[in-house]
Amino acid sequence: MRGLDVSAYQETVDWAAVAAGGASFAYVKATEGTSYISSRFSQQYDGAAAVGLIRGAYHFARPDKASGSAQADFFVDHGGAWQPDGKTLPGVLDIEATPGLPTCYGVSPGATVHWIASFDKEYRRRTGRHPVINTNTSWWSQCTGNSSALAATNLIWIGSWTGTPHPLPNGWSTYAFWQTADSGPLPGDQDVFNGTEQDLRNLAASGTYTPPPAPPAGAWPIVQQGYSDRQVTTIQYLLNAHGAAMSVDGSFGAATHDAVVAFQTRNHLTADGIVGPNTWQALITTVKEGDHGPAVSAAQAELKAHGAAMSVDGSFGAATHDAVVAFQTRNHLTADGIVGPNTWLALVN
């Protein structure tokens, strides 16, 4: 299930277009610390609900300011309350770095864990539910000392723009929400919910649910509009191998999105413009020595990204064959020099 999160940075959101664009849920920034209330909260929160989206509110944590319990009260009092109405998601504690401020806000790992626990305790006292924790693994590992203290009670919303939710913070084996990119076809940040539409409705109705397992670390990555990385370069080459005529610039913009949608439509896939497992497996083309074209360039670009010293020239010669064999050997694959499904999967991860 696709969704988004927005704040006052998104001054005007066309919620009807968001719903038409396939979103099922939205999280809206309500507060930060104990002095900031988003000027756009009411418009965004009510606007999302008006078009049928399930929505919730989030609080941006400032452990360097007031206590966790005081910030939980401020959040609940200014839009963050949860109620079992079937359309309101549990509140979120968004805790991550702020550019320009000291690392971990100058707070020790032990004090940070205590601060989060204080917020959690007060939010649960006020609403009857634990808040969802929104963070990224790097910040969590550094700033909480890699704590697992809240994993048994709080759902995690993981921020990861690498095409995979892994690695998850210590203690969590799966996630409820995943922020996959900071831009894309929907306004604001792009998110997915780990479950079905009924799971999402159950979460809104009861304030809790059990997420299914996360995809394995070696699964096909999820790549979408807003990404800029080597996986996008590979996708663009592979789209060209299937008849697209596009620039290979490593930036997943509107043109790449449209090319993906066209490819998905031709191949009877869900035409959402997101390159997930099914689209990857339709895109990849087995290439071997003697082959030429964009699919070979895609394999060469990936090999180069993995450390091979080679040209990306679209010609599968002896040097490319040897680089494939070396890559396969390092990754415990059949070292046959042929880039087939298993080798492609290892290359794009």
Write out the catalytic residue numbers.
5, 94, 96
Q: Decide: helix, strand or coil at residue 60.
A: strand
Block residue for tokens 């719903």: 19
DSSP 106-174: G--HHHHHHHHHHHHHHHHHHHSSPPEEEE-HHHHHHHSSS--TTTTTS-EEEE--SSS-PSPPTT-SS
Residue 124 region, left (φ>0) first, then alpha (ψ -120 to 50), else beta? alpha
Paired strand residues for 135:
158
What's the CA gap between 98 and 278, in Å, rounded? 36
What's the CA gap between 152 and 157, in Å, rounded? 14
The count of other CB atoms within 10 Å of the CB of residue 174 is: 16
Helix, strand, coil shares of the chain, percent, nearest 5, are 40, 15, 45
Tell me whether strands 156-159 and 132-135 are parallel, antiparallel or unpaired: parallel
What's the CA gap between 144 and 92, in Å, rounded? 18
* Alpha helices per DSSP H over the chain: 15-20, 41-50, 68-75, 109-127, 137-143, 197-206, 230-241, 254-266, 277-283, 294-305, 318-330, 341-348
| Residues near 309 by beta carbon (within 8 Å), at least 6 away in sequence | none
| Residue 273 and residue 185 in contact, taking contact as beta carbons nearer than 8 Å | yes
Length of the chain: 349
Q: Decide: helix, strand or coil at residue 72.
A: helix
